[in-house]
Copies of this chain bind each other. A is one copy, B any other.
Amino acid sequence: MARPHQQAITSAAAPPRTARTAGSKLVEPKQERAVITRTRILHAAAEIFAEQGYPRTSLADIAARVGMTKGAVYFHFSDKDDLATAIVEGFYTRWPELLGEVKAMNLDPLATLTELLDRTERAFHSDVMVQAAARLQSERSVIKSNLPLPYQDWIDRSTVLIAAAQEKGQVRTDLSAGDLARVVISAFFGMQHVSSVLHDRKDQAQRWTDMKLVVLGALKAP
């Protein structure tokens, strides 16, 4: 069960989109420093958002934590919303990649889903950006700009996996793949949310183990 890739799930730590391929002209000729700064700001923002939530976090707080001025933050992000959006999107754009990695393991569909959720669960208590993204999503109605719609992507991808598992006779068919996916994803996020509110995620791993036994177990074809 050892997972060698305990790395962050968000794109912030991944090579940013300005990466120059060998010898080619820069795509976005930002200076190195800028991308670093941008990442630092994003990280600081994620920390404070995760701690205090969106509305109680002021731009001044964020700037102070990175040791810069508000103006500097404003140079990189047009808005407080922009910051939040960047954090959340960093999380979302990373998901397809995560799915790709897991698929490369060639597990059967149900195991793939499980592995995916396992990794996500770990991200929830190891990666500040993910925590921030989750929290920002739960406060999404407070944020003016349109954050990407949450959950839906997970539901869609899980639906595909579950449908494949049904095809193989691994999963019950009295409910559609979509319905089952919604149950699983809702339960998963409910789990992390309750653990976060009640026990600061300290019991999250255990809760997830329990939930797997019950919910994922209940998927199996009789």
Binding site for B on A (CB under 8 A): 52-53, 55-56, 135, 137-142, 149-152, 174-175, 179-180, 182-183, 185-191, 193-195, 197-198, 207, 210-211, 213-215, 217-219
- Return chain B residues, CB-CB under 8 Å to A152: 198
Contacts of A187 in B (CB 8 A): 183, 186-187, 190-191, 211, 215
Max chain B C-beta neighbours (<10 A), residue from A55, A56, A194: A194
What's the nearest-Cβ distance from chain B to residue A54, in Å?
8
Judged by DSSP, the binding face of A is helix
- A56 nearest in chain B by CB position: B142
Q: Are A218 and B207 in contact (CB under 8 A)?
A: no
Q: Do B214 and A219 touch (CB < 8 A)?
A: yes
Q: For the A-B complex with A190-B190, A215-B218 known, give 5 more contacts whose Cβ atoms are closer than 8 Å.
A: A140-B197, A186-B193, A186-B195, A187-B191, A189-B193
CB distance from A192 to the nearest CB of B (A): 9
Least Cβ–Cβ distance between A173 and chain B, in angstroms: 12
Q: In the complex, what's the smallest C-beta–C-beta distance from A222 to chain B, in angstroms?
A: 11
Q: Are the CB atoms of B194 and A189 closer together than 8 Å?
A: yes
A150 x B215 contact (CB < 8 A): no
Is there contact, CB below 8 Å, between A210 and B182?
yes
**Known A139-B139, A198-B152, A215-B214: A207·B182 in contact at CB below 8 Å:** yes
Closest to A52 in B: B141
Q: Which residue of B lies closest to A196 (CB)?
A: B141
Q: Which of A141, A186, A215, A218 has the most CB atoms of chain B within a 10 A radius of its CB?
A: A186
CB A150 to nearest CB in B, in angstroms, measures 6
Per a CB cutoff under 8 Å, which of B53, B138, B180 touches A214?
A: B180
| Residues in B neighbouring A213, C-beta threshold 8 A | 174-175
**Residues of the B chain whose Cβ atoms lie less than 8 Å from the Cβ of A174:** 213
* A215-B183 in contact (CB<8A): yes
Tell me which residues across on chain B come within 8 A of A219, comparing CB atoms.
Answer: 214
